[in-house]
Every structure is written in C-alpha cells, then in structure tokens.
Amino acid sequence: MEYVISVAGDPSSAIGSVQSIMEDGDSLTSVAMGTEKLDSPLKECISGGASRAFRIMDRDFMGSDSWVLSRIYTAFIDEYCPERGLIVFSGYSSTVPMLAHLLQVQQFCYVTEIGRDNEGIYAIQNYDGDTRKCRVPVGSVVSMAEDVRIPYSKKESDAEIEVVGRKELKLALPSVGIRGSRIITLGAC
C-alpha cells in the first residue's frame, strides 16, 4: 500500500502517524504545493522514509482558489499515486474536503491519532473536545489536528524532490490559476 503525505506546515505528526500504520512492503510518497520553501518539510518526509517526493509548482497555478488547488491535487494523485492507500495532510485546509469529494472517498479531519487494529485502520477525531473513533476505509483523505505532536523515527531514503507542473499533470491552462478559480479577489477595503 502506498501512503501519501501532503505537506503544508510541520509534517512530523503526519510522518509519525503513517509510520505507526505502515506494514512491510508499504511505501511513502510526499507532496507539497508551492515554492522552494517547501523543500525543507519535503526533506523531512524523506528523512522519515519517503521513497518519492514531489513539489507541485507552476506559474500558471498562481491565483488559484481552493477549488482549483483541489483539482490540481486530484490530477496529481491520479497521475502519480493511482494505487494510494491513504492521503494524509499535515494540517487542515478547505482543499482537504474538496479533494475527498473529487476522489469520491471519505474525509477525516482534525485527527489526533491514526492506528491499526485487527479490522484495519482507525482514526480518532477531535471536534472541540468531542472525540470519536472511526474506521478509515482505504483511499480516504485524512488531515491531522494542528495541536498534536506525534514523533517519528528517521529512516534511510535517497529520494530527491521532483518538481511537477501543469503540463505533467495534464491540466488545461483555462482550468487553473485565476481563470479556473470560482472565487475572485475584489480588492482591499
């Protein structure tokens, strides 16, 4: 099974969570969307055992809203991780539920713990102190709660960061950036 970690901020909890459920033969892929600043958390994922690392970046993506971002992520997942087991975001954003809908899978947000029992993978969600434990089907999109710290162990990997853009993801120019966005900025007050 291939696990995908999507990095926005500190990826350590996402790496720790995925490591806790990985079995022999499973692999880890990391992805981030943005500038070179994201190379640092991607390298952290590599040090946590990611065998592949991608940074999605293209000038054509500038000005994209969450709808377009989720479509870019969907294109990436379809193209590079068609056999994914779980997609884990290091934090919550509007992109998470949108991506889950576009992939037609379940979403699990504000997750404080991911684990594995005899029946499969489970997640514990925390809605402002109201916690619940859910079964997580294969293919689901998970986003970690911001305030959890799950340690991870260092592993060997010689993966390098690959930059992918609009053409690699086979996205039409009018479907991305400001032109593809549903939300437009009208200006400051």
- Which is it for the CA torsion 48, 41, 15, 159, positive or negative? negative
DSSP secondary structure letter of residue 51: S
**Tally of residues, the chain:** 189
Does 187 engage in binding with another protein (CB under 8 A)?
yes
Q: Which of 98, 159, 171, 176 binds another protein (CB under 8 A)?
A: 98
Cβ–Cβ < 8 Å for 40, 67: no
Q: Which is nearer to another protein, 19 or 143 (CB)?
A: 143
Least separation, in Å, of the C-beta of 92 and another protein?
8
Which residues, other chains included, contact 108 with Cβ-Cβ below 8 Å and sequence gap of 6+?
Answer: 123, 125, 134, 136, 140, 141, 142, 143
Does 76 engage in binding with another protein (CB under 8 A)?
no
At 130, is the secondary structure helix, strand, or coil?
A: strand
Cβ–Cβ < 8 Å for 169, 64: no
> Site mask, another protein, residues 32-71, x = CB under 8 A?
---------------------------------xxx--x-
- Which is it for the CA torsion 137, 140, 144, 150, positive or negative? positive
Q: How far, in Å, CA of 22 to CA of 2, rounded?
A: 9
Q: Which stretch binds another protein (CB under 8 A): 24-32, 101-109, 150-158, 167-175?
A: 101-109
Q: Which stretch binds another protein (CB under 8 A): 22-30, 55-63, 132-140, 160-168?
A: 132-140
Q: Which of 109, 121, 169, 176 binds another protein (CB under 8 A)?
A: 109
# binding residues, another protein (CB under 8 A): 33
Under the rule (CB under 8 A), what is the footprint of another protein?
65-67, 70, 92, 94-98, 100-102, 106-107, 109-110, 122, 127-128, 132-135, 181-189
